[in-house]
Structure 1
Amino acid sequence: MQKLISLLVLAMLALTVAGCQIVYKPDVQQGNLLDKKTVDQLKPGMTKHQVLVLMGTPSVSSPFEQSRWDYVSTYSRRGGAMKVRTFTLTFNNDTLVRTEGDFFAQDAQQLVKDSKKYNAGYPANETEGDKSTSPNDKKNDGGFGQGGNDGH
């Protein structure tokens, strides 16, 4: 009987903990992350190529409506309601004529700061890349180039 009671208490405790939403839900940002400096550099009269170099590839570029580019961004904080922002560029004959919409100007800066705090303890050195050499790599070059002889 005591085992049955302790089993019921354990089951009720497990159900209570499962309902508390202790499962981690990360912040999720998807789409184009635009910052204020970049958007401020957009000027009417810029070509599509100049805009592409400055802003990057748009999220939505329809083959049927080539005079409009949409930069779409979504952000959900800890599983909460999703915010959707759209920044639309309108072109006339490959020349920028109008910008409209909103973007994550302040939120983008905060996202960059948040991402840096997660990388603070990471030991990788981004400047070296994967092709760093050690002293042993220089001694053994795979057997080729030693005296102009390939072993025959």
Structure 2
Amino acid sequence: MQKLTALILTLFLSGCAFPGVYKINVQQGNIVTDDELSQLAEGMSRSQVHAVMGTPLMLNPVDLSREYYVYTFQREGGDITEQRIIVYYEGDQYAHYEAQLLEETPAY
């Protein structure tokens, strides 16, 4: 009876950490390339910036002078890496951007 209990307990606990579980890559947000960033020119309207870079992931309803383009990537359940681009406007025209880019975009 003890051997049967030990066998059942071992099988039960081994199911909690089964090594064959497949974990997928997870990517979310705006994929922005260096080519797209190089197309931005001072004085562009918001709609022109959106045509080049796509719709921003986050908008601040209080301060419309910034738009946020964020991309996150998680490889097989590991650490999450993040790329963040902040586009600044003066009035309704593009002024400049700040970027914290990934060395390589894993989506490609």
Q: TM-score, normalised by structure 2?
A: 0.83
Partner of 2:96: 98
CA shift digits 1:33-78 (9 cap, x unpaired): 1122112211222111110111111011122111111101111111
State the AA in 2 paired with 1:90: Y
Partner of 1:127: none
Find the aligned partners of 2:107 and 2:71 in 1 and give their Cα distance.
13
State the AA in 1 paired with 2:6: L
Q: Cα distance, 1:89 vs. partner?
A: 0.4
Find the aligned partners of 1:82 and 1:21 in 2 and give their Cα distance.
21
Q: Cα distance, 1:7 vs. partner?
A: 5.1
Structure with the higher fraction of residues in helix conformation:
1
Gaps of 5+ in 2: none
Partner of 2:31: 33
Gaps of 5+ in 1: 113-152
Partner of 2:107: 111
Between Structure 1 and Structure 2, whose CA radius of gyration is higher? 1
Partner of 1:8: 6
CA-based RMSD:
2.0
Q: Judge conservation of contact 1:46–1:95 (CA < 8 Å) in 2.
A: yes
Misfit runs of 4+, over 4 Å: none
The answer to whether residue 79 in structure 2 is matched with residue 76 in structure 1 is no
Structure with the higher fraction of residues in strand conformation:
2
CA shift digits 1:98-138 (9 cap, x unpaired): 1102234622xx413xxxxxxxxxxxxxxxxxxxxxxxxxx
Give secondary structure in 2 for the equivalent of 1:73. strand
Would you say how many aligned residue pairs link Structure 1 and Structure 2? 108
Partner of 1:42: 40
State the AA in 1 paired with 2:64: Q
Q: TM-score, normalised by structure 1?
A: 0.62
